[in-house]
Amino acid sequence: MVSFSSLASFCLALASHVSATILQNGQVKETNYPDTSIDPAAQSFKTYPANATEISYKGRWDSKYVSWWSAPGISFGYTGQTVAISFGNLTDNGVLVGYRIGGLDWMFTNITSGATHLLVSPDAPGSNETAPINPTTFELRVTNWAYGVQIEAVHVAEGEKLIKIPDFGRRIEVIGDSLAAGMYTTYEGLSSWAYGLGAGLGNTEYTVTAYPGICAADQDCWGNPRGQAHQWFYTSDTSYRASVIHGDNPEPWDFENHPAADIVVINIGTNDNNEANNVTTEAYIDGLTKIIQGVHSKWPKAQVVVCSLWLGFHQSGNSFSPEWTDGWVNEIYDLVQWFNSKDYLKNPTIWDGVTNTTSTTGKKSDPFVHYFNTTGILQHNDIGPQWHPTDVGAIKVASHLQQFIRIKFGWDLYATGPEIFHDTLYWNDEQSY
Ligand SMILES: *[C@@H]1O[C@H](CO)[C@@H](O)[C@H](O)[C@H]1NC(C)=O
Ligand SMILES: *[C@@H]1O[C@H](CO)[C@@H](O)[C@H](O)[C@H]1NC(C)=O
Ligand SMILES: *[C@@H]1O[C@H](CO)[C@@H](O)[C@H](O)[C@H]1NC(C)=O
Ligand SMILES: *[C@@H]1O[C@H](CO)[C@@H](O)[C@H](O)[C@H]1NC(C)=O
Ligand SMILES: *[C@@H]1O[C@H](CO)[C@@H](O)[C@H](O)[C@H]1NC(C)=O
Ligand SMILES: *[C@@H]1O[C@H](CO)[C@@H](O)[C@H](O)[C@H]1NC(C)=O
Ligand SMILES: *[C@@H]1O[C@H](CO)[C@@H](O)[C@H](O)[C@H]1NC(C)=O
């Protein structure tokens, strides 16, 4: 019953140019974002190189300061009213980024490869405000997973400076596929439930290691050469861009020099479950097992939340039914139970996707794997025609996960106002009609 052609369409997206006409609810979406590029030679800036300690990199960035996976970003504090960024030539030309001052609304602009963009000026909304967030912070996020930016330098006005903003004290990572990456939502990664979860918790560092079409099992799925049981251990994703920039030598993620996540949410398997990819149940469960064992190996204290899978709905008589009910529901639940068994916990097996090695920790572990039941969260109109959550669907998944995490792990919700999801202000101007 599932239309494979729609699921396969991400392959086309990989090949297409960054600039394309987008239909949103059947209407042409306006993408005439302001052109922020400037001639850097005509300015007098104080300039910081990409490796300046004042610049915090969020999500996965490689040694050349190139961004990977979904919704990676940078942030820093600054003085004055000017922020410009020079982007390196490994930037995808035309890539859309969201950026903002403090917790104000996201603004958007297309980045030109090798150009300098003026993103904050005295006329930028909020530019004259110094409270409540002080020092004033600047944040930028890449919206699309397949495209990226390369940071070359950050500039402020002459006589002004960048200020290092310490990381928040808690950290979450989402491991997934297109569902977590934000495919088909309004601002892609910046409208994804994974981003919404991390940003919506507030005062939380978040990384979204999700890529459309990728499987848990380490095999080719929809053109992604490797599965997450392998790729999660690497800085770069499975994009064509990664094959161009890193070839056969991707950089393993430097787990030693990046802090551990406290909570890892895993939502992966719809691509494994698609018969076009020929993944057996055994291979899928083996892949998911390795991802969990990989997380436990790199981050022994992390709590892991495994989501049950969902797809979409079809009309069934006078209502709607799930398109698909065989999403390895029992197998995933059984795997979570197995991870919680005394037998496993007395000497956990761990996995390293770079060296391909399975070993044991040699010490007892407390239970760390939890089951998040997604059944009943999404209804038929929360899934768009291309089998992915709509913006509303993404917000529902993020909201339920936030409450699950609050109740289960005692994480308070710290965000008390900043914009999380952009362009979701649906409202009416009439009080009776
Ligand atoms: C800007 O980005 C949007 C979203 O990717 C794209 O549709 C549009 O064509 C881009 N515009 C330019 C001028 O590159
Ligand atoms: C940044 O890179 C330059 C050039 O390689 C080097 O001289 C400098 O020490 C680096 N700065 C930091 C903070 O690592
Ligand atoms: C890209 O930038 C680097 C560093 O500035 C430079 O060495 C290289 O020649 C540039 N490559 C292209 C194709 O412009
Ligand atoms: C900030 O103040 C300056 C000087 O008064 C003014 O020119 C500018 O428009 C103000 N910016 C905003 C966003 O209101
Ligand atoms: C899946 O397996 C079938 C039968 O063995 C084969 O014909 C097909 O090419 C395979 N598809 C992929 C994507 O490997
Ligand atoms: C790990 O296994 C993969 C797939 O079998 C293989 O391509 C890779 O070379 C192996 N790597 C190491 C370090 O053994
Ligand atoms: C998941 O939720 C559905 C709907 O409430 C329920 O029928 C099912 O038993 C739940 N699964 C588990 C493993 O608790």
pLDDT for residue 325: 77
pLDDT for residue 308: 97
Q: Is the pLDDT of residue 157 over 50?
A: yes
CB 92 within 8 Å of CB 147:
yes
Domain segments of the chain as ranges: 33-163, 171-409
Question: Ligand 7 mean position to 220 CA, how many Å?
Answer: 31
Question: Ligand 7 mean position to 373 CA, how many Å?
Answer: 6
The CA-based angle 290-405-107, given to 5 degrees, is: 95
Burial of 79 (0-12, 13-18, 19+ CB in 10 A): middle
Q: Is the pLDDT of residue 63 over 70?
A: yes
Q: Determine the average pLDDT of the residues in 284-313.
A: 97
Q: Determine the average pLDDT of the residues in 124-129.
A: 95
The residue contributing the CA closest to ligand 2 atom 6 is 51
The residue contributing the CA closest to ligand 7 atom 3 is 375
Question: Ligand 5 mean position to 278 CA, how many Å?
Answer: 6
Please tell me the number of Cα atoms within 13 Å of 7 on its side-chain side. Answer: 22
pLDDT for residue 20: 80
To the nearest whole percent, how much of the chain has pLDDT over 90?
A: 93
pLDDT for residue 18: 73
CB 109 within 8 Å of CB 99:
yes
Q: Tell me which residue has tokens 């362009």.
A: 423
**What backbone phi and psi angles, to 5 degrees, belong to 15?**
-85, -20
The residue contributing the CA closest to ligand 7 atom 6 is 375
Question: Ligand 2 mean position to 87 CA, how many Å?
Answer: 18
Q: Determine the average pLDDT of the residues in 294-311.
A: 97
Q: Is the pLDDT of residue 10 over 90?
A: no
Report if pTM > 0.85: yes
Q: What share of the chain is helix, strand, coil (3-state, %, to 5)?
A: 25, 25, 50
CB 36 within 8 Å of CB 50:
no
**What's the chain's average pLDDT?**
95
- C-alpha closest to that of 83 among 135, 18, 132, 32: 135
| CATH number given to 171-409 | 3.40.50.1110
12-34 pLDDT, tens digit each? 344 445 778 999 999 999 999 99
CB of 97 closer than 6 A to ligand 1?
A: no
- Which H or E run includes 162? strand 162-163
Q: Is the pLDDT of residue 5 over 70?
A: no
pLDDT for residue 418: 97
Please name the residues in contact with 207: beta carbons below 8 A apart, sequence gap of 6 or more.
58, 59, 60, 69, 72, 171, 172, 173, 174, 198, 261
**What backbone phi and psi angles, to 5 degrees, belong to 264?**
-120, 120
- C-alpha closest to that of 286 among 366, 351, 231, 340: 351
Three-class SS state of 46: strand
200-252 pLDDT, tens digit each? 999 999 999 999 999 999 999 999 999 999 999 999 999 999 999 999 999 99
Three-class SS state of 275: helix
* DSSP 8-state secondary structure symbol assigned to residue 112: P
| CATH number given to 33-163 | 2.60.120.260
pLDDT for residue 8: 35
Please name the residues in contact with 192: beta carbons below 8 A apart, sequence gap of 6 or more.
70, 71, 180, 181, 182, 185, 208, 210, 394
Q: Is the pLDDT of residue 2 over 70?
A: no
Which of 356, 357, 358 for a ligand 6 pocket mutation test, highest count of atoms within 8 Å of Cβ?
A: 356
CB of 128 closer than 6 A to ligand 4?
A: yes
The residue contributing the CA closest to ligand 2 atom 14 is 51
Residue 6 pLDDT class (50, 70, 90 cuts):
very low
Q: Determine the average pLDDT of the residues in 170-182.
A: 98
Three-class SS state of 156: strand
pLDDT for residue 17: 56
